[in-house]
Amino acid sequence: MKEQYSIDEILSAIDDLQNLKKEKEIDAIVINKLIPRKKSDIPSNTLRLIEEAEKIIRSKLQSK
Protein backbone atom coordinates (compact mmCIF):
# COMPACT_ATOMS: atom_id res chain seq x y z
CA MET A 1 0.00 0.00 0.00
CA LYS A 2 1.87 3.00 -1.21
CA GLU A 3 0.36 6.31 -0.33
CA GLN A 4 1.26 9.41 -2.20
CA TYR A 5 1.37 12.77 -0.53
CA SER A 6 1.80 16.15 -2.09
CA ILE A 7 4.76 18.33 -1.22
CA ASP A 8 2.43 20.74 0.55
CA GLU A 9 1.06 17.94 2.74
CA ILE A 10 4.58 16.79 3.64
CA LEU A 11 5.72 20.34 4.43
CA SER A 12 2.60 20.92 6.50
CA ALA A 13 3.24 17.74 8.47
CA ILE A 14 6.84 18.81 9.10
CA ASP A 15 5.66 22.22 10.33
CA ASP A 16 3.18 20.54 12.66
CA LEU A 17 5.90 18.32 14.11
CA GLN A 18 8.26 21.24 14.61
CA ASN A 19 5.56 23.30 16.31
CA LEU A 20 4.69 20.38 18.56
CA LYS A 21 8.35 20.02 19.55
CA LYS A 22 8.59 23.77 20.29
CA GLU A 23 5.45 23.63 22.44
CA LYS A 24 6.87 20.74 24.47
CA GLU A 25 10.15 22.61 24.96
CA ILE A 26 8.28 25.72 26.10
CA ASP A 27 6.17 23.66 28.50
CA ALA A 28 9.32 22.08 29.94
CA ILE A 29 10.92 25.49 30.42
CA VAL A 30 7.82 26.88 32.11
CA ILE A 31 7.57 23.87 34.44
CA ASN A 32 11.23 24.16 35.38
CA LYS A 33 10.83 27.85 36.19
CA LEU A 34 7.69 27.28 38.25
CA ILE A 35 9.32 24.69 40.49
CA PRO A 36 11.39 26.54 43.07
CA ARG A 37 14.88 25.17 43.28
CA LYS A 38 16.53 25.07 46.68
CA LYS A 39 20.19 24.86 47.44
CA SER A 40 19.68 21.63 49.32
CA ASP A 41 18.57 18.42 47.68
CA ILE A 42 17.02 17.33 50.98
CA PRO A 43 13.38 18.37 51.39
CA SER A 44 12.70 20.79 54.25
CA ASN A 45 10.33 18.33 55.97
CA THR A 46 13.07 15.73 56.05
CA LEU A 47 15.55 18.24 57.44
CA ARG A 48 13.07 19.14 60.18
CA LEU A 49 12.64 15.46 61.10
CA ILE A 50 16.40 14.99 61.25
CA GLU A 51 16.79 18.03 63.50
CA GLU A 52 14.05 16.79 65.83
CA ALA A 53 15.67 13.35 66.02
CA GLU A 54 19.03 14.92 66.81
CA LYS A 55 17.47 16.97 69.63
CA ILE A 56 15.89 13.84 71.12
CA ILE A 57 19.17 11.94 70.94
CA ARG A 58 21.06 14.84 72.56
CA SER A 59 18.51 15.14 75.36
CA LYS A 60 18.71 11.38 76.03
CA LEU A 61 22.52 11.50 76.11
CA GLN A 62 22.50 14.46 78.50
CA SER A 63 20.03 12.78 80.87
CA LYS A 64 22.32 9.76 81.29
DSSP symbols for 33-58: HHS---S-SS-HHHHHHHHHHHHHHH
Tell me if 15 sits within 8 A of 8, measured CB to CB.
no
pLDDT tens over the chain, length 64 residues = 678 889 999 899 888 888 877 777 766 666 666 566 565 677 888 888 989 999 988 888 887 6
pTM above 0.75, yes or no: no
pLDDT of residue 25: 72
**What local confidence, expressed as pLDDT, does residue 64 receive?**
63
Helix (H) or strand (E) holding 1: none
Q: Which pLDDT score, from 0 to 100, does residue 31 have?
A: 64
